Amino acid sequence: MKRGIVVAAQPEAAEAGALMLMAGGNAFDAGIACALTQGVVDPLMTGLGGVGSAVVHVPARGLLENLNFLGAAPAGAREDMWADRIRGETGDGFGFVVEGRVNALGHQAVMVPGNLAGYHTIHSEHGKLPWATVCEPAIAFAREGWIVRPHVHAYATQDEAAQGRVPNAEILGYTEAGRALYLGADGQMRRPGSTIRNPDLAATLEIIAADGADALYRGVLGERLAADMAAHGGLVTTDDLAAFEVTRQPALTGSYRGHRIATNRPGGSGVQLLQTLATLDHFDLPALGHGSAEHIRVVAEAIARAYGDKRAHVGDPRFVTVPLDDLLDPARIAAYAAAIGAGERARLDRLPAVGEVRGTTQVCALDTDGNALSMTHTLGAPSGVIVPGSGFLLNGCMGIFDPRPGRATSIAPGKGYTSSMSPAIVFDAAGGTRLVIGAPGGTYIPQAIAQAISNVLAFDMTVLEAVSAPRVAVTRSETIDVSNRVPRFVSRALEAMGYAVQRSFASYAFAGVHGIEVTAGGVRGAADPGRDGMALAV
């Protein structure tokens, strides 16, 4: 590695980041070029209309910071706006289902997007190259076209209706622009190998290249968005856009096996990641054997307790008091570990399940000066809305708010999205960067990242081995979801312990972890095999 390394869930995005490093840019130029390109070539996952969270490390300045750009509910939103229309909760706990699907599809599902504000803030404060240069790869892919990849097609065509969700073809086809861009004559996503060109998005990105984030939050793009909202019953206004701000704080930190873990603060789920790892630190996992029934039981119970705490207590800290000190109190963690050691099973407070929704992506970047970026960004579940002439989907993040008043994640005007995103940077005992890591995957994100970090630090796996190893997940009480590469003799042993076991059809299930590791032997990256991505060092 002469300049740096980028890992992303899309090869085009990794290429965009590598081009910035080759042009003399740093990890932040690379990461933001990558992110902008991801919005072009993975349109159901992220984009200018989405929200995100990042952990930034600038060793020369002693900076270790979390920037959250998790959007905001419009000022016209009300806590009880859908309280009488609740049907249930998504299967993986990543959102709620209401009658008419107005919180998931269409203009009312849209909250103020945060991604562009986040990208521009990170670049303006830490990048080296001109902003317009960083926008160039995304503009080129939008104008010249990109090839529909296997994961894009598989995600767009998977059977959502059978799970009670809005089918992705319906999301993509909600507007005339979406139908023209993404759907074939059969009304389904264009086939793998098809080339998609998006001249409207290229033109939008050219405006952004010239005017920066103000083009959306205080300029012509925002005016067009607000006008489309007003014409179709949406709530986002120009005042909402102008009021949006990126929030920033020192990264939230914890420890695992003598390493310091830096991650995001609420409304991200970094606290869930830290709780899970702190609980696992009470166990000699290598002695249990990776992938054994007892190893899976311990991991699942640690996940369940942290997930339950997140659901009960974590929300936008401007609106709810998140008791971080209590959640990370060593006494609380020790009590959780003792209960797990005694064989006690955690319970989760859930509404009836009605399918699941998730669509997110990840970029990790590291350069030879030690600058590091882990950023997760998403559309939540896209609303299907494409403002005429804009070329990009808007988020459907209003569907993630709890329609029940009085909860940590209930709706409130100006309130940010509470996300499962938990980008992280891991430091060794000497303070050097050990891992830059993160994942897309809805509720599964902090669960999967915790397992990957444990795989590296407890089981001495390489980062590629760690992100490729079979994972498990917990979203329901006393139930363990397992990937299809967990042997049935192991799942039968879990059932004998009293757990229900849900087997995924996917070989690489439960999020898509991407990471960079630094070892005495050098730097290497790994993209989750369940996605289409790659690591690219230059």
Catalytic residues: 360
Secondary structure string (H, E, C) spanning 185-254: CCCCECCCCCEECCHHHHHHHHHHHHHCCHHHHCCHHHHHHHHHHHHCCCCCCHHHHHHCCCEEEECEEE
> How far is CA 359 from each of CA 44, 132, 253, 377, 382, rounded to the nearest angstrom?
7, 28, 26, 9, 8
* Phi and psi angles of residue 387, each rounded to the nearest 5 degrees, phi first: -60, 130
Beta-sheet pairing, 372-378 with 360-367? antiparallel
Angle at 160 between CA 155 and CA 162, to 5 degrees: 145
Which runs of consecutive H residues, i.e. helices, occur in 469-521? 488-496
> How far, in Å, CA of 190 to CA of 181, rounded?
9
Tell me whether the omega of the peptide bond preceding residue 118 falls within 30 degrees of 0, making it cis: no
In terms of Cβ atoms closer than 10 Å to its own Cβ (0-12, 13-18, 19+), residue 471 is buried
Residue 189, strand partner residues: 183
Strands laid side by side in the 522-526 sheet: 252-256, 259-263, 424-427, 433-438, 514-519, 522-526
At position 355, the amino acid (one-letter code) is G
- Lookup: tokens for 371: 């600058």
At 179 the three-state DSSP class reads helix
Stretch (H or E) spanning 115: helix 115-126
Reported in sequence order, the residue ranges of 329-449 that DSSP labels E, i.e. its strands, are 360-367, 372-378, 424-427, 433-438
Alpha carbon distance 211, 233 (integer Å):
28
Using alpha carbons, select from 77, 83, 88 the residue that is nearest to residue 404.
83
Structure tokens given for 236: 């986002």
